[in-house]
Amino acid sequence: MKLSKNKFELLLAEKELTLTKLAELSGVSRQNISTIKQRGTCSPCTAAKLAKGFGVPVAEILDMEVTA
């Protein structure tokens, strides 16, 4: 799944979370989160875990841009 890097960064700032804290809340390792943040993609299962860690629906972190 393609994640929105901007939404990801905004949620980290808004929720005042570090990658370490997000890792604790989501059950995804900090190193994996760092890689996902750089790459902008992850599996649907991991996206669900990250969204749960943020306390938002999965759609909040997905890149939903439509290209024509």
In percent, the amount of the chain with pLDDT more than 90 equals: 90
pLDDT at residue 12 in the model: 96
Q: How far is CA 61 from the centre of its chain?
A: 6
* pTM for the structure as a whole: 0.89
Residue 51 DSSP SS3: helix
Q: pLDDT by residue (tens digit) across 40-62?
A: 999 999 999 999 999 999 999 99
Q: Could you give the domains of the chain?
A: 5-60 (1.10.260.40)
Under 8 Å CB-to-CB from 7, ≥6 apart: which residues?
Answer: 60, 61, 62, 63
